């Protein structure tokens, strides 16, 4: 069975849902194909407190509001699907699902999102959103007056650790090596901050608590000795992975497997756009994803009506 649309959007995170809102409101026959959870990274955030015009809301509630809004303008949404094949290079694009259903359109917006790199240790999934965070900008103020750990040794880890000292009374950086991979100015700034302490050549081995995170176990790698540390929160900054595995070879990616776009969210393939956490960019917030989705939808609309 094949269905024909004006626009296919891949992914129902903040970027994809926003693109669906704008495209459908512009009277484009639009469908969103979503492999994962509707809302993407939004649903992993316990509270969103820095979304303009909204004092505070649950991440999943913001995602649901966006979904309802997109559908109210006529956007179709197919969730829990698995994409088997992309055909993006012709004038008419097609996406084929594993169950055999086929979708055709004259334009495609790729917004599969991304995910923070995980430690993959016991308790991590349990305490995501209730003590474990991957975004200091999103969640830092929830740890005002508390003690937190930052995991990582790159620029993001050290810069976010410094930012967290505006809220936390103590920030402990845990890093697996005896040196940092960050720029020298970031290292100096972190080392000169009196609220920051360091545990080097060490890795976290587990997260523990009841309803929320209460402590972690840390292994000192040279000695192989493990100790426990009470903590209110842990921020993990060990890299970011775009969800582009299935589209590799179909659109240009950089060396981090991010989709390369211009300022109009255009890829080098006519009629193919990309938006959100899957593209090459510095900042990844709900607001930046929403902006990307807006631009991608407007650019796709201009392309279709050009």
pLDDT for 47 equals 74
pLDDT tops 90 at residue 44: no
Residues listed for the chain? 306
Domain 124-236 belongs to what topology?
FAD/NAD(P)-binding domain (3.50.50)
Indicate whether 19 pLDDT > 80. yes
Tens-place pLDDT, residues 85-111:
999 999 999 999 999 999 999 999 999
pLDDT band at 240 (very low <50, low <70, confident <90, very high): confident
For residues 291 and 91, give the distance between their C-alpha atoms in angstroms, rounded to a whole number: 26
What average pLDDT is seen over the chain? 94
CA-based nearest residue to 252, from 273, 223, 222, 236: 273
What is the pTM for the complete model shown?
0.80
Q: Where are the domains of the chain?
A: 2-116+240-305, 124-236
Within 10 Å of residue 125's Cβ, how many Cβ atoms?
A: 11
pLDDT of residue 125: 93
Query: Is pLDDT at 1 greater than 80 in this prediction?
Result: no
Mean of pLDDT values over 112-123: 94
* Percent of residues, the chain, with pLDDT higher than 70: 99
| Region 173-191 average pLDDT | 95
pLDDT at residue 195 is higher than 80: yes
Least confident range from 33-47, 95-109, 242-256: namely 33-47
Looking at residue 45, what is its pLDDT?
Answer: 72
- Fold topology of 2-116+240-305: FAD/NAD(P)-binding domain (3.50.50)
Mean pLDDT of 66-84: 96
Average pLDDT over residues 62-76: 96
Residue 46 has pLDDT above 70, yes or no: no
């Amino acid at each position: 069975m094949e269905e024909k649309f004006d626009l296919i959007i891949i992914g129902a995170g903040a970027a994809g849902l926003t693109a669906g809102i704008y495209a459908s409101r512009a009277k484009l026959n639009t469908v969103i194909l979503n492999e994962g959870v509707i809302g993407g990274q939004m649903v992993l955030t316990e509270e969103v407190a820095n979304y303009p015009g909204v004092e505070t809301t649950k991440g999943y509630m913001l995602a649901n509001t966006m979904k309802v809004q997109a559908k109210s303008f006529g956007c179709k949404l197919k969730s829990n699907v698995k994409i088997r094949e992309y055909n993006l290079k012709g004038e008419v694009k097609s996406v084929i699902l594993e169950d055999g259903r086929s979708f055709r359109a004259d334009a495609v917006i790729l917004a599969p999102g991304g995910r923070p790199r995980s430690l993959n240790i016991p308790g991590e999934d349990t305490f995501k959103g209730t003590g474990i965070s991957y975004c200091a900008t999103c969640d830092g103020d929830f740890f005002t007056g508390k003690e937190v750990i930052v995991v990582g040794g790159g620029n993001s880890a050290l810069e976010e650790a410094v930012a967290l000292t505006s809220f936390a009374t103590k920030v402990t950086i845990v890093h697996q090596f005896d040196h940092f991979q960050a720029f020298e100015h970031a290292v100096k700034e972190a080392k000169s901050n009196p609220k920051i302490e360091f545990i080097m050549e060490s890795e976290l081995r587990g997260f523990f608590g009841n309803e929320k995170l209460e402590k972690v176990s840390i292994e000192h790698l040279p000695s192989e000795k493990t100790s426990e540390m009470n903590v209110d929160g842990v921020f993990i900054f060990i890299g970011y992975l775009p969800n582009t595995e299935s589209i590799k070879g179909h659109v240009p990616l950089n060396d981090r497997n991010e989709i390369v776009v211009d300022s109009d969210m255009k890829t080098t393939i006519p009629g193919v756009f990309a938006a959100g956490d899957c593209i090459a960019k510095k900042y990844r917030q709900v607001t930046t994803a929403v902006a990307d989705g807006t631009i991608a939808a407007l650019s796709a609309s201009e392309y279709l009506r050009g």
